[in-house]
Structure 1
Amino acid sequence: MTTPRGLLLLAAALLALAGCGDDKAAAPPDVKHNGAAYDGMNVCTLADDEQIKAALGEGPGPKERKDTDALRACAIDASSGDFYLFLTVVKPSMAAADQVGYDKAAVEGAKDVDAKTFSFFDEGQAYVETSDGDLVLRASLIYYVDGGKITDGTGVVGRLHTLLGQMTQKV
């Protein structure tokens, strides 16, 4: 014969074994679904002039939309005319994180910035690419021929990474 106290202890033990009371570990992570924003997106509006100036290291010139069927883009000349910033957003056919992984694997010398972001730089260009929800964003700084060269690639990558972080807040 089971006593009420014995039943209570048995019920408490079963609840503890079942893990009741702490569902935080079992909850799936929040997934950002921002693919719908892509169709009407104007990449030139994802960063303000101060953010662009910080990424360029000097004042920005005019912004020019460069959208195609495959991507949304914005080109921004530096005030010196020696280089430009090229911002792109893509809605890939595969998962955004998989696209970033694929792009990274195709670049010799790519370096991880964080779990979903990589960078690359040489004397003529630097870029940072990241996945954000359903989208892939890239910020590139590119020198024109005879415009000069990148002398602090790590610093440029840091500025581009900061800019991408600011842009993802608006997507």
Structure 2
Amino acid sequence: MNTPRKVLLLAGAALALAGCGGGKTAPPPEAKSNAAAYDKVDVCNLATDDQLKSALGENAANKERRDTDALKACAVDGASGDFYVFLSVVRPTMAASEQVSFDKSAAQGARDVDAKTFSFFDDGQAYVETSDGDLVLRASLVYYVDSGKIADGPGVVGRLHTLLGEMTQKV
């Protein structure tokens, strides 16, 4: 084979491997469409007792649904009675990612966890919020007044982030 022909074959192979030359590109991944799941979701059933125990750092006690017109929610007391985990799912009127960005901008001291998720903590509460398809999910740990305070904010945020990841798999 002569040299110009080899060069053309190698160039054509390189273009094909690079995704050029054939005019075909891989389609973008489909966005998760889960808006309809909001109507039937029971937030109290998005986490198992073991998952709640991991997030709380102790056994879970009472679960109470706290749905409103604007969100589906569940409050789960820790066995000590000092704090609770509050889980919520919202179908926002704007894009879920825009809602998370808005909420993040309103929380002074919020920190990025990843491209779709942020966290916040202070002495009395910690939460992690994420967009998941058409929905916004949040997991919070909140101390009751005069019941204590968060000593390890990053640790609590880590546990809540794990719980939130487990919840998104069920919506």
TM-score class, shorter: 0.7 to 0.9
TM-score (normalised: structure 2)? 0.88
Amino acid of the structure 2 residue aligned with 1:62: N
User: Deviation at 1:22?
Assistant: 5.5
Equivalent in the alignment of 2:25? 23
Written as runs of structure 1 = structure 2, the 5 A alignment for 1:95-134 is: 95-134=95-134
Counterparts of 1:106 and 1:19, CA distance in 2: 47
Any stretches of 5+ residues in structure 1 without a counterpart?
1-8
Q: Identity across aligned pairs (percent)?
A: 70
Aligned equivalent of 2:3: none
Question: Which 4+ runs in 1 deviate beyond 3 A?
Answer: 15-18
Per-residue deviation, residues 52-76 of structure 1 (Å, max 9, x unmatched): 0000000000111000000000000
Q: Which residue of 2 aligns with 1:86?
A: 86
Amino acid at match of 2:21: G
What are the equivalent positions in structure 2 for 1:10-159 lying under 5 Å apart?
19-20=21-22, 23-24=25-26, 27-159=27-159
Provide the rounded CA distance (Å) in 2 between the counterparts of 1:84 and 1:71. 18
TM-score (norm 1): 0.88
Structure 1 residues 111 and 18: alpha-carbon distance in aligned structure 2, compared to 1, 3 A threshold:
closer
Deviation for aligned residue 1:19: 2.8
Structure 2 gap ranges (5+): 1-7
Backbone CA RMSD of aligned residues: 2.1
Letter in 2 for 1:94: M
Distance across 2 between alignment mates of 1:78 and 1:98: 32
* Cα shift at 1:20: 1.4
Structure 1 distance, partners of 2:72, 2:49, is 19
The DSSP-based 3-state class of the residue aligned with 2:40 is: coil
Letter in 1 for 2:163: L
Task: Give how far 1:23 is off.
Answer: 2.1
2:105 maps to a residue whose letter is A
